[in-house]
Amino acid sequence: MTQVGTFTIINELGMHARAAAKLVKLAGSFSSTVQLEKEGQVADAKSVMGVLLLCGAKGSSVTVRATGEDASEAVEKIGALIADRFGEPR
Amino acid sequence: MRTLFRGFSACAGTAVGSAVVISRGRAVRKTPAGDIAAEHQRLAEAMEGARAELTNARAELAGHDAELVLNVHLMMHGDDLLARAIKRRIDDEGVSADWALRAAVDELKSPLLASSASYFRERAEDIEHVGQHILRHLRGETLTLPNGGNVLVTHELSPADAVQLLSTGNVEGLVTATGSARSHTAILARAFDVPTVVGARGIVSAVRDAERLIVDGTNARVIVGPTAREADEVAARGARYRAYRSSLVSEGGDAVSVDGVEVTLRANVELPREASRAVRCGARGIGLLRSEFLYLDADEPPSEDAQVAAYREAARAVGDVVVVRTFDLGGDKLPSGHRLGHSRNPALGLRAIRLTMWRGSLMRTQLRAVLRAAHQHEIRVLFPLVSTVSELRAVKVLLEECRAELRDREEPFGDVAVGAMIEVPSAALQVCAISEEVDFLAVGTNDLIQYTLAVDRSDPRLAHLADPLSPAILSLLHSIRVAAETSGRPVSICGDVATHPLALPLALGLGYREFSVPPSALVFVRECIRRVEVKQLAEMATEALTLRTAAEVKALIDATVGDALRTLWTEQGIADPVSPI
């Protein structure tokens, strides 16, 4: 099954290198395929370069699309990571 | 001709040497692949080699900030997107792996370069570094340097190349044309303690290989083609520093004042590699082992066994006492992979001893590791951010339970002295009661200043308020010292106060006889102590305690020790002792 969720990047530096690395690590922990989409550009959420190349700056809106057994958990957890500003202090 | 370049200081210190210019990029020509399969094989081997090198470099920097940078690069090296893009070009266009790599890197960089956010444009540089690194392996090039006296001049070093070059110990100084004090190269230069100036625009094209130049990291400048006198001065300073440092090894680490007062100097250590440097600089053990280096960027807390190994290794490296400060996590130092929930005010939130007691298993595992490591080594344990007596009592109960557990497991363990950091005003005000609960005290001046003066130390606009010489801080330092003496507990200072050119003499005057400082500051602190008369400083401290402003305190200290210490300050390049080194 496929799950979709759209989230806004709220941390100061956006999906920068360290944040992208965290997201990729998290996405890699799911068996589902996970894709990120920003303004029509699609990236494999398990590829750090792919995520970085989306240039998800603060304020941009990112859609997470997961397909597989743990799809809903993947979307939920990735959404939570984004909402948690990738664990960065405010 | 003598030319002066200005940049930003990334690592203080001065060096003179001959330039090794590493110019950007290796030109790649578009060549057809002779044998497609062979190109794929070359590519696989090069990517493998580069990855292995990077993995080694990361081990070298375990726990350091720079490790995070290398992690991202390692992930990029293993990224399918890059590998696929290169392979596709080899197959579709029938070109060499070199060209396919060049083209793939350029293609990947382009959306980042087009981004409006400078942060993303800078990340294009990361991809370029990764590409250059693989290219170096494709061509079988190695990074070699002539022996001794090298000053590297380059646009910017990739983290992998930086580790490779700096760890040879063959680099006296480093100058880059781009970058800032926050850049990867700067972080690494500090980790390896190599005098470095970054952001010296135009330097690469202005310097020829083997040309003589001075890197003045202290004053953020580079002198190309210096006068003989300038070069001699810098070389002599470097030679004195090295001779002095090697004399420390034979003499032992104690610093003795003019009037014969002995002071114990220990080292604050974060990276394992710093422990051996601390010994070379004459440290009598590690006064503050920032144990969170084991934890940062790991998804799981380090196991008991891993901790035992790390503490033993540190003790072996210094052959002396090791004070393990329990994980100082939370606040501005958040571990990755842990959701701690939000705190409106992290500095006052769930951090340090509060966090490790809240997640009790963290504290238990660490205490068992410390006890086991103490079986054959002198290990002490120090609790950060203690604010009440009850906290200490609770942690001591835990320590007793851990001993019982180890006895049940028939695991050998040793005696561990228990200490409290005094870095919260409530602890400072209750220091008599706290000292009766513990075997030793350590004053963490950085947090004590932040909490007492209510100043966020990371905000440059407030820097003038975060003055270590403010009378309120003196008063606390004084009462902590008195309480320690009354209860017969040793007390040390392990924050920036111990390396501050004016605060150090004052702390000596207040009666402090033990300091723990970064390895790079050991020589300076020791030399300060050897040039002052403690009896005179004690009189100065008594007078300082009656003053009302930090400016008055500074003027008094400057008037008292200026004559004795001015040469040393100048030697260290401290133009204005009022601001810390």
Contact B117 A57 (CB under 8 A): yes
* Chain B partners within 8 Å of A24 (Cβ): 75
Q: A31-40, B10-19, B174-183, B224-233 — which is least confidently predicted? A: B174-183
Within 10 Å of residue B275's Cβ, how many Cβ atoms? 23
Q: Which residue has the higher pLDDT, B560 or B178?
A: B560
d(CA B367, CA B376): 16
Domain that holds residue A48: 2-87
The confidence score (pLDDT) of residue B247 equals 62
Q: A65-69, A86-90, B464-468 — which is least confidently predicted? A: A86-90
The confidence score (pLDDT) of residue B580 equals 40
Distance from the B70 Cα atom to the nearest Cα atom in chain A, whole angstroms: 10
Q: Does B123 touch chain A (CB under 8 A)?
A: yes
pLDDT at B78 over 90: no
User: Would you list which residues of chain A are within 8 Å, Cβ to Cβ, of chain B?
Assistant: 13-14, 16-18, 20-22, 24-25, 41, 44, 47-50, 52-53, 55, 57, 84, 87-90
- Percent of chain A exceeding pLDDT 90 equals 51
Contact A55 B111 (CB under 8 A): yes
The mean pLDDT value of chain B amounts to: 85
The confidence score (pLDDT) of residue B275 equals 82
Q: Which residue of B has its CA nearest to A19?
A: B72
* Chain B partners within 8 Å of A90 (Cβ): 342
Q: B192-196, B334-338, B340-344 — which is least confidently predicted? A: B334-338
Backbone φ and ψ of B385, nearest 5° = 60, 30
Distance from the A26 Cα atom to the nearest Cα atom in chain B, whole angstroms: 9
Interface with chain B: mutation pick from A12, A16, A55, highest number of B CBs within 10 Å: A55
Q: Does B298 touch chain A (CB under 8 A)?
A: no
d(CA B146, CA B46): 25
Contact B120 A57 (CB under 8 A): yes
**Of the candidates B183, B185, B158, B160, the residue with the CA atom closest to the CA atom of residue B173:** B185
pLDDT at B148 over 90: no
Contact B72 A55 (CB under 8 A): no
Q: Which residue of B has its CA nearest to A60?
A: B117
The secondary structure of B258-323 as a DSSP string is TT--EEEEEEEE-SHHHHHHHHHTT--SEEEEEGGGGTTT-SSPPPHHHHHHHHHHHHHHHTS-EE
The confidence score (pLDDT) of residue B337 equals 43
Distance from the B133 Cα atom to the nearest Cα atom in chain A, whole angstroms: 16
Which of A10, A13, A16, A67 is flagged as catalytic?
A16
d(CA B506, CA B477): 10
Please count the structural domains in chain A: 1
Take residue B492 and report the two structure tokens written for it.
């040390």
Query: What residues of B act catalytically?
Result: 184, 494
Residue A80 belongs to domain with CATH number: 3.30.1340.10
Q: Which residue of A has its CA nearest to B107?
A: A53
Q: Which residue has the higher pLDDT, B482 or B121?
A: B482
Indicate if A6 belongs to the active site: no
The confidence score (pLDDT) of residue B336 equals 45
pLDDT at B569 over 80: no
pLDDT at B136 over 90: no
Convert the pLDDT of each residue in B18-68 to its tens digit: 999 887 555 667 777 778 888 899 999 999 988 888 888 777 766 565 666
What ranges in B409-533 are assigned the alpha helix state H? Answer: 425-429, 431-437, 445-453, 471-487, 503-509, 522-531
**Of the candidates B470, B431, B478, the residue with the CA atom closest to the CA atom of residue B449:** B470
Contact A50 B82 (CB under 8 A): no
The confidence score (pLDDT) of residue B158 equals 73
* Chain B partners within 8 Å of A22 (Cβ): 336
**Which residues 312-371 of chain B have a CB within 8 Å of chain A?**
332, 334, 336, 338-339, 342, 346
pLDDT at B297 over 50: no
Contact A55 B117 (CB under 8 A): yes
Take residue B150 and report the two structure tokens written for it.
């090298």
Contact A53 B108 (CB under 8 A): yes
Q: Which residue has the higher pLDDT, B523 or B398?
A: B398
Nearest-by-Cβ selection for A55 from B81, B108, B112: B112
Distance from the B213 Cα atom to the nearest Cα atom in chain A, whole angstroms: 35
Longest dimension (CA), chain B: 84
Q: Which residue of B has its CA nearest to A50?
A: B81
d(CA B507, CA B495): 12
Contact A21 B71 (CB under 8 A): yes
* Chain A partners within 8 Å of B71 (Cβ): 21
Interface with chain B: mutation pick from A10, A47, A84, A86, highest number of B CBs within 10 Å: A47
Contact B332 A89 (CB under 8 A): yes
Position B576 confidence tier, pLDDT thresholds 50, 70, 90: low
Question: Is the separation of the CB atoms in B34 and B90 below 8 Å?
Answer: no
Convert the pLDDT of each residue in A7-18 to its tens digit: 999 988 788 877
Contact A48 B75 (CB under 8 A): yes
Q: Which residue of A has its CA nearest to B110?
A: A53
Question: Mean per-residue pLDDT for B94-107?
Answer: 89
Residue B75, H or E segment: helix B65-77
pLDDT at B532 over 60: yes
Distance from the B329 Cα atom to the nearest Cα atom in chain A, whole angstroms: 13
**Which residues 65-104 of chain B have a CB within 8 Å of chain A?**
68-69, 71-72, 75-76, 79-82
Please report the sign of the dihedral spanned by the C-alpha atoms of residue B295, residue B300, residue B303, residue B306.
negative
Strand blocks (E) in B314-366:
322-325
Contact A21 B123 (CB under 8 A): no
Distance from the B295 Cα atom to the nearest Cα atom in chain A, whole angstroms: 15
Take residue B562 and report the two structure tokens written for it.
């200026």
Position B246 confidence tier, pLDDT thresholds 50, 70, 90: low
Count, residues in chain B: 581
Q: Does B27 touch chain A (CB under 8 A)?
A: no
* Chain B partners within 8 Å of A84 (Cβ): 339
Convert the pLDDT of each residue in B151-200 to its tens digit: 999 988 876 778 778 877 789 999 999 876 656 677 678 777 788 998 89
Q: Which residue has the higher pLDDT, A5 or B252?
A: A5
* Chain B partners within 8 Å of A36 (Cβ): none
Distance from the A28 Cα atom to the nearest Cα atom in chain B, whole angstroms: 12
Q: Which domains does chain B have, with CATH numbers?
A: 1-26+142-250 (3.50.30.10), 27-138 (1.10.274.10), 252-571 (3.20.20.60)
Nearest-by-Cβ selection for B72 from A17, A53, A57: A17
Interface with chain B: mutation pick from A39, A52, A54, A77, highest number of B CBs within 10 Å: A52
Q: B36-40, B113-117, B294-298 — which is least confidently predicted? A: B294-298
The confidence score (pLDDT) of residue B490 equals 97
